[in-house]
Structure 1
Amino acid sequence: MKKSIVAAAVAAAIAAPAANAGVTIYGQVHVSIDHLEHDLLRPHYSAWHVSSRASRIGFKGTEDLGNGLSLIWKAETGYDFSDGGAWDSSGRNAYIGLTGDWGTFLYGNHDTPFKMAWYSTGIDMMGDTLIDANSLGSVEENRWSDTIAYISPNMNGLTFAASIQAGESNNNNGLADEYSIGVMYSNNGLKLAAAYEDERNDDDDRFMLGVGYTMNAFTIAATYVDDNEDHEKNYNISGSYSFGNNKLVVAWGREDNDHGRNDDSWGIGLTHTLSKRTTAYVAYGDSDDAHLKAEDDATTGFSLGMIHKF
């Protein structure tokens, strides 16, 4: 009896700080079985893979500071489920900040407003899979470290965001050596977005326009990106149709460059919702220039995957 009482007391003491801190543990397990081919290589490449696709674990929390002001924080990192649980080296959103009726201010590691605007259109209907939209269209979307960002409140469907990135070097030592801005609108099934990003340290800037629309079971979205550094124009179109617990997705992307080369990629996928937190899917993709989102560059691929969110 005494041992049980002591054990319960110890457990309560350990749990109390976490409960008081308001910490939420969350994440996603996404693993697929893929068959990939690269027709442009000699000899021809063909192989099976088991891939962990942006699987992650995160911790986040808030603290009420009073007068409508709250402190917010997040620490998220990738986790590789296909290679035995080794921590993935890819950085994810990790920050601290303040939020209130006036909006949200944060600093740390975070998606740029350009990336936020691009995704807000609903263009990526099977994100992180073999037919991930930014891969099909070869769109560069960034998550900046050392960033300071502001995100406005939702104003009748309109939201805007801006961020700057400190250079942290002798040659680039300003507080805003790089900057990104985005404007997003969503109302009655219609989504609109525009964004601009300037990575002046790399002489790289890009501009984006996007639109999405949902009507009953149908959703369609399209984006256009003009990337100055790579002298490219990127196009994406995605569509989906939902029926029961299923969703059929078709996606297309094109990369046009100043050298006259046009690379087209397309994909088709079917998702099936097993529960509120678990989804299974099958996908097939084909690309002119190995844009498929895979462990190895691939021009064609087949993928069977499962996603569980916790």
Structure 2
Amino acid sequence: MKKAILAAAIATLVAAPAASANVTIYGQVHVAIEKYNGFQDEWGVIQDAVWAVKSNASRIGFKGTEDLGNGLSVIWKAETTYDFADGSAWGSGRNAYIGLAGDWGTFLYGRHDSPYKMAYYSTGIEMMGDTILDFIRMGDSMHNGSNLDDIEFWHGDLYSGAIAYISPNMNGLTIAGAIVPGANSGGPGGDGLADAVSLAAMYANNGLKLAMAYESNEDGDDDSWLVGASYTMNNMTLAVTYNEDSGMDDGGDHKALLVAGSYRAGNNNFVVKCGDDLDRYSDWVWGIGVEHALSKRSMAYVAYADSEDDDSALSVGMIHKF
């Protein structure tokens, strides 16, 4: 009895600072069993039928607020990846920032999704994101898996050293902008306050979502813009995004078109996606998948992705959010 009382007292003392600081611990566990055909190993040799267990954007984070009064609050977040496949802790950093929030909007600085990236995701184009159906995985060597055509599509990135502003929701419209000083931009090492710039406008109302964004990196040598839209009617959603970029790895200009659709039936959500680099290969990649909700926080899924070059991938995974 005394041991139980002592344990309860210790737990109360440990939890008290976190409670008073209004700290939330959250995260996501996402692990899948995946098979790749057309796998390119570290020596550039194409291998078939390679199996792997992958931790896909699993993460843990801490966030909090402090009420300063008069509608003003301090906000902060610290989030990082955690590999549940091999147990590697504290992997690559995700959003990590501090800022102020009020009726006028949110101001923050640190590491944050660029407004361009916010616009890309705002329409819901990345259905079954982080799985093998994620457009970025489908076009960026599948996280060292199958090379599904290498679609050159720029979805924005995390900005390190960002200074950002996000407006309040104004009848469905949200405006976001960010600048990055030259020392943080990852470009040629400029010395200005805004050597990288990202701007976005996002709208959502009555099932309709619209987004447009512009981004300039590396002192203007890399310009990207996108427009996207989606519409949800009853249980069906259709999304489309078009992107142009002038600063991909080969220095050329690229255009990409992405289309995604989903249909929800009970605890199941069926997804179809396809995309094409209109300038580079003009070869479509496509994928299908189904998600099954096990609870409000857990789901299982099956997904398959393929391309006109006969590269393909199959994935069976589970996701739990906490």
Q: TM-score, normalised on structure 1? A: 0.91
Structure 1 position 139 matched with structure 2 position 149: no
For the 8 Å contact 1:152–1:161, the answer to whether it is kept is: yes
For the 8 Å contact 2:130–2:137, the answer to whether it is kept is: no
Q: 1:295 matched to which residue of 2?
A: none
Q: 2:142 matched to which residue of 1?
A: none
Question: Which aligned segments of 4 or more residues in structure 1 are displaced greater than 6 angstroms?
Answer: none
In the TM superposition, what is the alpha-carbon distance from 1:2 to its structure 2 partner?
Answer: 5.5
- Specify which of 171, 188, 191 is matched with residue 173 of structure 1: 191
Q: 1:129 matched to which residue of 2?
A: 131
When residues 274 and 14 of structure 1 are mapped into structure 2, their CA distance, relative to the original with a 3 A threshold, is same
| Count of aligned pairs | 299
Amino acid at match of 1:304: V
Structure 1 position 56 matched with structure 2 position 48: no
Residue segments in structure 1 that go unaligned for 5+ positions in a row: 291-298
Amino acid at match of 1:50: V
Structure 1 or 2: more strand by fraction: 1
CA RMSD of aligned residues (A): 2.0
In the TM superposition, what is the alpha-carbon distance from 1:144 to its structure 2 partner?
Answer: 0.7
Matches of residues 225-236 of structure 1 in structure 2 within 5 Å?
225-230=243-248, 231-236=253-258
Q: 1:68 matched to which residue of 2?
A: 71
Q: 1:158 matched to which residue of 2?
A: 173
Q: 2:148 matched to which residue of 1?
A: none
Structure 1 position 31 matched with structure 2 position 49: no
For the 8 Å contact 1:208–1:225, the answer to whether it is kept is: yes
Residue segments in structure 2 that go unaligned for 5+ positions in a row: 139-150
For the 8 Å contact 1:52–1:82, the answer to whether it is kept is: yes
Q: 1:251 matched to which residue of 2?
A: 273
Q: 1:197 matched to which residue of 2?
A: 215
| More displaced stretch, 134-143 vs 280-289 | 134-143
Q: 2:120 matched to which residue of 1?
A: 118
In the TM superposition, what is the alpha-carbon distance from 1:201 to its structure 2 partner?
Answer: 4.0
In the TM superposition, what is the alpha-carbon distance from 1:192 to its structure 2 partner?
Answer: 0.5
* SS at 1:167 equivalent: coil
Matches of residues 210-249 of structure 1 in structure 2 within 5 Å?
210-230=228-248, 231-249=253-271
* Distance in structure 1 (CA, Å) of the matches to 2:277 and 2:191: 34
* Distance in structure 2 (CA, Å) of the matches to 1:156 and 1:75: 30
Per-residue CA distance 1:44-66 (angstroms, 9 max, x = gap): 43210100000000000010000
Per-residue CA distance 1:171-220 (angstroms, 9 max, x = gap): 41111110100000000000000000000347111010001000001100
* SS at 1:172 equivalent: coil
Structure 1 position 262 matched with structure 2 position 276: no
Per-residue CA distance 1:27-58 (angstroms, 9 max, x = gap): 00000001101178755432101000000000
* SS at 1:9 equivalent: helix
Identity %: 57
When residues 43 and 129 of structure 1 are mapped into structure 2, their CA distance, relative to the original with a 3 A threshold, is closer
